[in-house]
Amino acid sequence: MKAIRLALTALLLASRSVHAVEFNHFVAEQSSLQFVSRQMGVAVDGRFRRFSVKLAFDPARPAVAKAQLELDLASVDAGSPDADGEVVGKPWFNVKAFPMATFVSKAIRPLGGDRFELSGKLTIKGRTHDVSAPFVFRQEGDNGIFDGAFVLKRLDFGIGDGIWSDVSTVANEVQIKFHIIAAPAAASK
């Protein structure tokens, strides 16, 4: 018994020395998902309050890394009480019919240094599109920090249809910025 445990520990240590740590424990309280929309040419900040991420990321082995996001669209802060009431409605997110948005990664590619590119399938309002986002990974203390951004075309997902599809008032391009903190599995024991 003792021997097995020793062997396991040795194996773990060995694997740790070969690979960097795997980050797979999402720290919700410190992570954020923000967006910037443009209304009449003016940038307006927004964010989502509730989302969860499942991930397994070892910077030394991005090829086997995985990430998955579940986003509660009703938790949106679109910049003003007026807008919050509006964007959960049918022309926008239609949260009654589609409460969740999801993202499932397909590949994480190293871009050199601490830069990577995440690509995968994003589903909002029942529509799925391929998206990809460059991100920077860095380690702070025990935690891994992922900072990335990409531009989403809202009309690809039917976000803001009908009268709102006029992109001269609300631009089609919405910038999404994510700041995800994950702890290594070992730290969470």
Partner 1 sequence: MPDTRYTHPAIVLHWLMAVLLMALFSLGIYMHDLPLSPDKLKLYAWHKWAGVTAFVLVLLRLAWRVGHQPPPLPAAMPGWQKAAAHGIHQLFYLLMVAIPLTGWLMSSAKGFQTVYFGILPLPDLLAKDKELGELLETVHKVLNLSLAALVVAHVGAALKHHLRDRDEVLSGMLPFLKRKS
Q: Residue numbers of the site for partner 1 (CB under 8 A)? A: 39-45, 79-83, 85-86, 163-164, 166, 169-170
Report yes or no: 64 and 58 within 8 Å, Cβ to Cβ: yes
What distance in Å separates the CA atoms of residue 178 and residue 151, rounded to the nearest whole number? 12
Closest to partner 1 by CB, 3 vs 40, is: 40
Least distance between partner 1 and beta carbon 85 (Å): 8
Minimum separation from the CB atom of position 163 to partner 1 (A): 6
90 phi/psi in degrees, rounded to 5: -55, -45
CA distance 147 to 138: 9
Q: Which stretches within 41-98 are classed as H helix?
A: 81-87
User: At closest approach, how far in Å is the CB of 81 from partner 1?
Assistant: 8
Minimum gap (Å) between residue 165 Cβ and partner 1: 9
Q: Given the complex with partner 1, which of 20 and 44 has the nearer CB atom?
A: 44
Of 130, 129, 131, 136, nearest in space to 110 by CA: 136
Cβ distance to partner 1 smaller for residue 44 or 131: 44
Any idea what the Cα angle at residue 69 is, between residues 75 and 188, rounded to 5°? 100
CB-nearer residue toward partner 1: 86 or 142: 86
- Minimum separation from the CB atom of position 172 to partner 1 (A): 13
Decide if 127 contacts 157 (C-beta within 8 A): yes
Instruction: Choose between 92 and 103: whose C-beta lies nearer to partner 1.
Output: 92
**161 DSSP 8-state letter:** -
